Amino acid sequence: MLRRARPVVMLLGLGGSGLWPGPHALARLPSPAGEIDASIHTLAVDFQRHRAPLAGESETASGRLYYLGPDRLLIHVQQPLEQILEIEPGHLKVFYPKSQESFDILTAAQETLPFFTFFFIAQRGEAEISAAGYTISHHESRGDTLFTYWDPPRKLRNEAGQAVLVSLVGDILSIQLKDRNDQPITQYALTGWKKVSGQRFPSRVVIEVLQGPSSGVETVDYATPVLNEPPPDWVATFQIPADAVVRGLRF
């Protein structure tokens, strides 16, 4: 049964690229500090996440994500293996309905969830980069497109270079992260921006990791978002069944 730990790890991105590889990890589960617009109380959206690493097999997972507030996220994975993930900062619970088995996973910190975080990038934007210690170097406009250049914090300058954020009329088009030699580490492209109940969200995110063991391409598609409506009853009241077999893991 422990073999199922790997699909869970790969889906969540635990130990993966996150928003920034290695020490640059920024894409965190939202905390009570509130990186997400306070007007967003609940959100549900379908997702399909495809990962194609340079080394190893490609993987695809799909399902529906339920954001239930700054301290709770529930993910119903439908393919390739049905599972329900209940996520709180530093604590993950994973339940397999077919086998009635569960993982109780403790983590040392809030783990990276890039496929979730990027859907909220319009709300996080520059504040997310600033929170990691980066400071704006300068802006550059090319028509309606704005390029913003960010310098890394002093403690990362031995390995990290600038970050470049490109936006068009407020929508983030791309983010590029560079190493200290000005070579790209990771590139992100966000397309298909749509307005949902007054908020802007991307329909697709493509992540290219160009250096390190996580090198490869990841594509996440989002569909049918529903904002600030009550979740299904089973989501609002979900609990791991008392008679489920529980196995503990730690990352």
pLDDT in tens, 158-201: 888 999 999 998 899 998 989 999 999 888 899 999 999 988 99
- Condensed to tens digits (0 to 9), the pLDDT of residues 210-237 reads 888 778 999 999 999 999 999 999 999 9
| Residue-level pLDDT at 183 | 92
Of the given ranges (20-34, 87-101, 129-143, 201-215), which has the lowest mean pLDDT?
Answer: 20-34
| Residue-level pLDDT at 244 | 86
Spatial neighbors of 128 by CB under 8 A, at least 6 apart, are: 19, 26, 35, 121
When pLDDT is cut at 50, 70 and 90, the band that residue 12 belongs to is: low
Mean pLDDT, rounded, for 101-111:
69
| Residue-level pLDDT at 113 | 63
Amino acid, res. 152: P
Residue labelled with tokens 């493509």: 206
| Residue-level pLDDT at 21 | 38
Does an H or E element contain 96, and which? strand 91-96
β-pair partners for 70: none
What's 202's domain CATH number?
Answer: 2.50.20.10
What would the DSSP string read from start to end of 97-155?
Answer: TTTTEEEEEE-SSPPB-HHHHGGGHHHHHHHHHHHTT-EEEEEEEETTEEEEEEEPPGG
Counted domains in the chain: 1
| Residue-level pLDDT at 107 | 62
CA 251 to CA 18: how far, in whole Å?
15
- Condensed to tens digits (0 to 9), the pLDDT of residues 46-105 reads 999 998 988 888 999 999 999 998 888 999 999 999 999 988 877 788 999 999 999 887
State pTM to two decimals: 0.81
When pLDDT is cut at 50, 70 and 90, the band that residue 249 belongs to is: low
- CA 183 to mean position of chain CA atoms: 24
Residues in the chain: 251
- Rank 8-22, 23-37, 230-244 by mean pLDDT and report only the highest: 230-244
| Residue-level pLDDT at 32 | 31
CA 75 to CA 192: how far, in whole Å?
23
Q: Which domain holds residue 231?
A: 2-250
